Amino acid sequence: MTRNVGPIDKAVRIVLGLVLLSLIFVLEGDLRWIGLVGVVPLLTALMGNCPLYSVFGLSTCPVAARK
C-alpha cells in the first residue's frame, strides 16, 4: 500500500476520529453509536493510506506526490 495521507491530513484525521469517538460517552441512547464512525479516520491516519484517496488518485503525502 502506498502512503497517500500527509502529516497535516493525519493530524486532522486523528483529532476528528477522537472527537467522533467521544460522542459515545457524550450522547445518550442509540445516537451515541454514531461515534463509532470515528474509527475510520483513526485507522486511515494510523495506516497512512486512505482507500478513497486511492480510488480518486489523490495524495496529501509529500513523498508520494513526488513519484
Tens digit of pLDDT for each residue in 8-32?
999 999 999 999 999 999 999 999 9
CA dist 48 and 9 (Å) reads 10
pTM of the model: 0.86
Of residues 35 and 64, which shows the higher confidence score? 35
Asked if residue 60 lies in contact with residue 5, where contact means CB atoms within 8 angstroms, the answer is yes
pLDDT band at residue 62 using 50, 70 and 90 as cut-offs = confident
**Cα Dmax for the chain:** 48
